[in-house]
Structure 1
Amino acid sequence: MPLAEIPLRAWRKRGQDFVFRGHALRYWVAGQGEPLLLIHGFPTASWDWHYLWQPLAQRNLVIACDMLGFGDSAKPLNHDYCLLEQADLQQALLEHLRVERPVHVLAHDYGDSVAQELLARHYEGRFQMASCVFLNGGLFPETHRPTLVQKLLLSPVGWMIGRAFGRSALASSFNQIFGPQTRASESALDDFWSLISGNDGPRILHKLIAYIPQRRRLRERWVAAMQRTDVPLRVIDGEVDPISGAHMVERYRQLVPHADTVLLANIGHYPQIEAPVQVLKHYQAFRDRIGHPFPRAAYS
C-alpha cells in the first residue's frame, strides 16, 4: 500500500526556525519515542523524507533540518561549506530541542557523510548514537562516481555552472540517477527545484560541492568508525544508482565487519522517494532487530 505524500506547501508550514552561528535554519519535529535524526542529501532538502515522515513519527521522535546552504535554510554566499560544520549543526539542533538520549540516525547521500562524522564523534565520546542506517551515498571515495554536473561544479568554472543550473538540468540529472521505472514526476521535480533555487541556491552549488574532496580527506577516520561494532549499522541501497549503487555496497561488505546490507532491485539514488514502502519495511525490521532499549516518552 503506498505511503501518503506530504505536499511541499504543507511541509513548509510545519517547519520551525532556530539560529546556528548567526544563520537561520529550518527544522521539523514530529512524534514521540526514541529520537530519530533524518539527514538529507545534496542538492535537495529534508522534504526528501516526506513519504516516511508520518510512519516514522508513529514510533519515534523524528527530527530533521535543512542543512546550511540547502532547502529553506540560509544560503550565505561568502561561506566555506564544510561537512564537519554540518555535523556541528545537527548537534546544535539536538541541543536546541533538549534531546539528551542516544539518537538513531537515518541518512542519505551528503547526509551519509555527516552521519559518518557523528559516528566518529560517538566513539570519541562527543555524541551519543544509538544506531545508524545509510541510504545511497558516497561512504567510500573510491566507489563514488560523481555525475557530470558534479564534476563541472568542482572545476574552476564551477561558479558559472552553478549559476546556469536550472530546472531542466535538474530533471536531466535526476533522470540519470533514479531507477528507470521510478523516476521523479514533473510535480516532484518542480518541488525539488523550488527547494534548490530558493534563496538564490544555484549561486552556492559550487561551494556546497566541496564535500567531495572533504570526503577524501576524512576517509580513514570515517571508515575506521564504521569498522567498529558498538553501534548497529545497516545500508539500504538502490542497486541501479550509478553514483553509489551495488558497487558501493560490494565495497561496504569488503570493509565493514558483519556488514548488514539491503539491495533494492531496480531502484536508483533516491530510495526514500522511489521506494518508500520498501525503505520503511527494511528500516523498521532493523530497528525491531536491535530492540528498543529506552522507554518511550512524549516530546515536550
Structure 2
Amino acid sequence: MEQVITGHTTASRATQQVGTLEWWQQGGKWFSYEGHAIFSRMAGQGEPLVLLHGFPTASWDWNRLWPMLTQQYNVLVLDMLGFGFSDKPVPYDYSIEDQADLIEGWISGLGLKTVHLFAHDYGCSVTQELLARDQEGTLPFHIASICFLNGALFPEVHNPLLIQKLLCSPLGGLISRGLNRRIFERNFRRLLGPANPPDRQDMDDFWQLLTYNNGRGILHHLIHFMEERRCHRNRWVGALQHATQPMRLVSGMADPVSGAAMARRYRELVPNADVVSLRNVGHYPHFESPWDVFSAYREFRSQQ
C-alpha cells in the first residue's frame, strides 16, 4: 500500500503552530531516571499515544502536531536523556538500549498496559528495540500500533551528513565542542524540504534546545547510535519483519538522509508495507507539513 501526498505550503503549516518554547517547557513535568531529571508532557484523552523524537532535537519537534493529536488521544512525550530539557550527564554511556529502558520504565510506571507509538529518526531505533522486546515477551506493556517518520530503519541505506560522520570519528569531541550556530543552522536546513523552510524563531528554538545545559558537549556521545544501528541491524530489522501489529511509514521524500531510499527499502523488506510518501518534505515531516502527517496518521488509526 502506498500513498503520495504533496506537502502543504508554509502558510498552511504556520496555522498549526501553537505556543512558544517557553510554553512547552512550562507545560511539562520532570521525573527521575537513574538519578537524572527527565522532561515530559502529557495531555488529551483516549488511547495512550507515545511520541518519540529524533536526534539532535527533542519533544518540541512535535509541537505542531500536539493540538491535533491531543484532541483524539492521550498523548505522552518526553525528552530522552541527553536531549532538550532533560539532563545531559557527562560521563554517561548513552545508547539506544538505555533510552528504551527509559521509555519502558516510564510507560510501565504510569500503569499503561497498551500503547501506540509514533516515532521519528532516533526514536525509530528506540521503537525497533521496544518492538523486539515486545516480540520476546519481556515488555511489561503491549505495543498496539507503530507509525514511523523518517528514521534510519535500515542502516545500509542511511546517508548521514558529513558533520554526523565527523561527530562519529575520533575528532567527534572537538567537532561537538566547536559547533556554532552558523554551522548548525546550515546543516539543519539541508535536512529540510523546499516547501516549508524554518524561520528565524524556529532556528532560535532548535538552537536553544540543543545548547541547553551544555548539550553541544555530548553530541559525539549521543551519535554513537549510528554504530548501534549497524550492530543491532538483524535484531531491529527482524523486529519490523515479524511485527504483527499495524505499522505505517510516513516518509518525507526530500530528506537527503533517510528519505526516498529508506522508503524503497521499507517496501522491499517489510511484508505488506504501508507507506505514505510526502513530496517536497524533508527529514522533519511533523515540523514541515504537520497537517499532512496528522491526516496520514488519523487515516492509519481509522483502519485499525
TM superposition score normalised by structure 2: 0.93
In structure 2, the partner of 1:107 is 119
Measure, in 2, the Cα distance between the counterparts of 1:4 and 1:269: 18
In structure 2, the partner of 1:293 is none
Residue 193 of structure 1 and its aligned partner are, at CA, apart by 0.6
Measure, in 1, the Cα distance between the counterparts of 2:90 and 2:197: 31
SS at match of 2:63: helix
Pairs within 5 Å for 1:285-300: 285-290=299-304
Pairs within 5 Å for 1:1-300: 2-100=15-113, 102-127=114-139, 128-290=142-304
Q: Identity rate of aligned residues, in percent? A: 48
Residue 6 of structure 1 and its aligned partner are, at CA, apart by 2.8
Measure, in 2, the Cα distance between the counterparts of 1:161 and 1:229: 39
Measure, in 1, the Cα distance between the counterparts of 2:97 and 2:223: 14
SS at match of 1:206: helix
Residue 95 of structure 1 and its aligned partner are, at CA, apart by 2.3
Give RMSD over aligned pairs. 0.9
TM superposition score normalised by structure 1: 0.95
Measure, in 2, the Cα distance between the counterparts of 1:233 and 1:251: 15
Equivalent pair of 1:107/1:135 in contact (CA under 8 Å)? yes
The letter of the residue matching 1:80 is D
The letter of the residue matching 1:114 is V
Measure, in 1, the Cα distance between the counterparts of 2:215 and 2:60: 16
Unaligned runs of 5+ in 1: 291-300
In structure 2, the partner of 1:296 is none
User: How many pairs align?
Assistant: 289
Equivalent pair of 1:6/1:51 in contact (CA under 8 Å)? no
Higher normalized contact order (CA 8 Å, seq sep 6+, divided by chain length): 2
The letter of the residue matching 1:75 is K
SS at match of 1:51: coil
In structure 2, the partner of 1:297 is none
Measure, in 1, the Cα distance between the counterparts of 2:62 and 2:56: 14
Per-residue CA distance 1:46-92 (angstroms, 9 max, x = gap): 00000111211111110010000000001011011000010110111
Residue 93 of structure 1 and its aligned partner are, at CA, apart by 1.2
- Greater CA drift, 104-113 or 169-178: 169-178
The letter of the residue matching 2:59 is S
Measure, in 2, the Cα distance between the counterparts of 1:92 and 1:168: 38
